[in-house]
Homo-oligomer: A and B are copies of this chain.
């Protein structure tokens, strides 16, 4: 049974399994619980979504402890493993290795660190410089994280931004290999093309040396079957809960604003009872029966 395994072990197995796995984005305790209830086996704690939810930019405007607190609420609300998007590790190797320990304490199963510079720039922004980290500096950062974790199954994923930054296949492969040698549990190879050609090129040369993760936000039209054929380990649906909630809230706000009434809203939105259920009120009710004095 999976329930007796640590979340770190579950994530490690999910990454290394021959079957294509999926991580669904969440950005709060509530969205994390919804992901789990939908049947996903893992959660992507998206930096873009978390920052957007907080109302700030995906540029390390929120402090790393503010992100940590969001992650903790997510872990507390769920039983499946969370891979946290940890940007660049929020500083140098020392900041990154300290983060790993704090994530372990909070029940986060792994973190993904990208080879750019602090403060980070979102990879999908057009017309921005995306300076890469020095390869040696980032390799040692990964090694510091791996050396510092206490749970052997905690996962450190190294995200290669070579394609994003305008470098070619060779740079991507060199970096991926260096990070793998430093102990990375998986490589996340990122691309902002609208077709999977970057990914295809990478996979054709990578030779399955360690698990590869992808984020098809821009090449969303590619059939998932193709990712299987390429030998991808894990696909991340990276920001769609956030985007779905934005549309829904915008529509709801506009309708209430214009109609000045809830009459046509009630049937479109989750009921109050459903909110209470998601908050697991039944557990509190049972506990109150046990632990509150009978009047």
Per-residue B-contact encoding for A105-138, CB less than 8 Å = 1, 0 else: 1110000000000110010110111000010110
Tell me whether A291 and B140 are in contact in the complex, defined as CB-CB below 8 angstroms, given that A125-B276, A244-B268 are known contacts.
yes
* CB of A252 closer than 8 Å to a CB of B: yes
Tell me if A74 and B57 are in contact (CB < 8 A).
Answer: no
Q: What are the residues of chain B within 8 A of A57 when measuring CB–CB?
A: 279-281, 284
A side interface size, CB within 8 A: 113
* CB of A201 closer than 8 Å to a CB of B: no
Per-residue B-contact encoding for A83-108, CB less than 8 Å = 1, 0 else: 00000001111110110000001110
CB-based nearest B residue for A40: B257
* CB of A29 closer than 8 Å to a CB of B: yes
Tell me if B253 and A271 are in contact (CB < 8 A).
Answer: no
Q: What are the residues of chain B within 8 A of A31 when measuring CB–CB?
A: 249
Quote the shortest CB–CB distance from A177 to chain B (angstroms).
17
Tell me whether A295 and B260 are in contact in the complex, defined as CB-CB below 8 angstroms, given that A60-B95, A246-B278, A284-B59 are known contacts.
no
Closest A-B pairs by Cβ, 4 of them: A29-B55, A55-B77, A248-B248, A38-B253
Provide a sorted-by-A list of 13 A–B residue pairs whose CB atoms are within 8 angstroms. A32-B55, A33-B55, A34-B249, A52-B279, A55-B74, A65-B66, A94-B284, A128-B288, A137-B293, A224-B260, A244-B245, A245-B249, A247-B268
Other than A134-B293, A140-B292, A246-B278, give 9 A-B pairs with Cβ distance below 8 A: A32-B55, A56-B279, A124-B272, A129-B295, A137-B293, A143-B291, A220-B263, A240-B252, A248-B248
Mark A residues whose CB is within 8 Å of B. Answer: 22, 24, 28-35, 37-40, 48, 51-61, 63-66, 69, 73-74, 76-77, 90-95, 97-98, 105-107, 118-119, 122, 124-125, 127-129, 134, 136-137, 140-141, 143-144, 216-217, 220-221, 223-224, 237, 239-254, 256-257, 260-263, 265-266, 268-272, 274-276, 278-281, 284-285, 287-288, 290-293, 295
